[in-house]
Amino acid sequence: MSKMLNLKLKIWRQDGPHAQGAFLKVDANDIPEDASFLEMLDVVNERLIGDDLEPVTFAHDCREGICGTCGVMINGQAHGPEKATATCQLHMRKFNDGDEIVIEPWKAQSFPVLKDLMVDRRAFDRIVEAGGYISAPTGTAPDANDIPVPKEVADMAMDAAACIGCGACVAACPNSAAQLFTSAKLAHLNVLPQGQPERWKRTENMVETMEDFFGSCTNHGECHEACPKEIPLDFIAMMNRDYIKSKTKNRSLSSQ
């Protein structure tokens, strides 16, 4: 039989990006230790509704750790105490009976609070949109699926594509930098042969869009530690190298 936990929660409540926020203290009693963190919040919300109080707003979707929708600061840690785990896959057995748990939204200027624990991640969308798409005159080039991709290249692209865009890297970074996210989105295209036609334009546009919204990387490495998919820091070095090259490559292309 699952052990039941009695917890004391401090949950951030805020009506919008310009509203004054404050913590709400809630007793979360009789929580099964096998429940996920979001299931615990569901139970709390049901009890708040039963008391004619407004439920806590939080973002979620797949609850399988793959969509990147969820994500909160739990006792000051992005996604909570378990490494390589999204908030939706964190289980209450990681906590002890009687614990006080502080739950906050991502704290970053580029992620304004929409309501309570839900933030606006559209700055990430602007970066991805800046990458554009591949459109090059290819004549009778073979279909993309017919182009052989070396295994080590495919593995690297898959490692980068594992990024779910949750924003934990930004939330954990003392500078609110988005280099890990941006470098992952760049690398999973830039290392593949199909991604070469727009590589330099894509790199320049995405990096400069990132810099419009987010802070600068100073190599703290907190982004990797908080990332539920453990995206390697190596991708940031690759992005920086490609960005420097893009300035020369793009000038050369524009003069042709």
pLDDT in tens, the chain (256 residues): 679 999 999 999 999 999 999 999 999 999 999 999 999 999 999 999 999 999 999 999 999 999 999 999 999 999 999 999 999 999 999 999 999 999 999 999 999 999 999 999 999 999 999 998 765 566 666 666 677 889 999 999 999 999 999 999 999 999 999 999 999 999 999 999 888 889 999 999 999 999 999 999 999 999 999 999 999 999 999 999 999 999 998 776 665 5
Give me the pLDDT at residue 173, please: 97
What does the domain layout of the chain look like in residue ranges?
4-115, 122-254
Give the CATH architecture of domain 4-115. Answer: Roll (3.10)
Q: Which of 183, 226, 180 is nearest to 84 (CA)?
A: 226
Which structure tokens are listed for 131? Answer: 């990458």
Integer distance in angstroms from the first to the last C-alpha of the chain? 72
Asked if residue 143 lies in contact with residue 40, where contact means CB atoms within 8 angstroms, the answer is no
pTM: 0.91
Give the CATH architecture of domain 122-254. Answer: Orthogonal Bundle (1.10)
117 vs 94, 95, 108, 251, CA distance in Å?
Answer: 21, 20, 13, 44
Give me the pLDDT at residue 138, please: 61
